[in-house]
Amino acid sequence: MAEVTYDLIIVGGGPIGMACAIAAKKANLKTLILEKGALVNSLFNYPLYMTFFSTAERLEIGGIPFNCLAPKPGRQEALEYYRNIQRYFDLDIRLFEKVESIAKTDDLFDVISEKEKYTAKNVVIATGFYDIPIYMGIPGEQLPKVSHYFKEAHEFAFRKVLVVGANNSSVDAALECWRKGAQVTMVIRKGEISPRVKYWVKPDAENRIAEGNIKAHFNSCVTEIRESEVEIENADGKFTVENDFVLALTGYRPDFDFLEKTGIELSKDELLIPKHDPETMETNIPGLYLAGVVCGGMETHKWFIENSRIHADMIIDHILKNS
């Protein structure tokens, strides 16, 4: 049987990868999505009771309404919505199939997954940023008591929990653990809760800290994690606190090694922004595009579902013009 050549292969089956596939399908392009985990895998791995910052209509793709009773949808509602999107559009998607490499030979791309080799005229990388934690690089970080992801608070009830960070994931985890009965301590590198924290959550956290229910060490950092304690350092020196669990929610980053292996150039500064044309989303490799959060490098707060949905039409328009 002759090998199939796809017009487009999309690496990543999140909302933006799906949006690209929908736009491609409407343009009659033969398209395949390869996703290393479940459908919208990053959203699946979000905390169980997470509420989005965006309203439902800003999470919509493919022109399909996202109906939600609450002002802001939660994780479960989002998963239901994107499952329904897949049912409606019947996108060709291979789940639990990780892409190992992308290489261009002449005018075609060889896309090799852990299961199969594919050929495509164009490729979109829409892999997000949630897969690789930003590690602290301190002694004890690899202990079993340390986690860089938070799912739910029950296992931390009535235990001493230290939460590292002051962004949305850290603040949500600290509040939820405290409400489930944990003794919560936060370690925050700067002098305040991040101004990017959801506007209805930020005052809640600040009030819990002010009243002493959640202990917070500002302008501080963790220097070592031990079995039953954690060492913290601030301007006054080092000290220890008793501890059972550490939630090191210090952020996440794209897979830069994978991007570089494909030949995509990264900026030389600490932001590591992948080279791409902001008008077409095409990288320095013709026919290879970026979509979604991965475009921002370490600026993972720059792109969201709501403002990167437009990447889909930009990419497909450029493909059609060059076909």
Domain edges within the chain: 5-132+252-322, 135-248
Distance (Å, whole) CA 66 – CA 60? 6
In the chain, which stretches have pLDDT less than 50? 1-2
Q: Which CATH superfamily is domain 5-132+252-322 in?
A: FAD/NAD(P)-binding domain (3.50.50.60)
Token output for 268: 């030389």
Q: Would you say 31 and 54 are in contact if contact means Cβ atoms under 8 Å apart?
A: no
Closest to 127 in 3D by CA, of 99, 159, 149, 106: 99
* Model pLDDT for residues 249-263, shown as the tens digit of each residue: 999 999 999 999 999
Give me the count of residues in the chain.
323
Are 5-132+252-322 and 135-248 equal in CATH topology?
Answer: yes
The predicted model scores a pTM of 0.93
* Model pLDDT for residues 120-150, shown as the tens digit of each residue: 999 999 999 998 999 999 999 999 999 999 9
Domain 135-248 - what CATH class?
alpha beta
The gap from C-alpha 57 to its chain's centroid, in whole angstroms, comes to 20
pLDDT of residue 2: 46
pLDDT of residue 3: 80
Sheet holding 221-225, edge to edge: 221-225, 229-234, 237-242
DSSP 276: B
Q: Would you say 292 and 130 are in contact if contact means Cβ atoms under 8 Å apart?
A: no
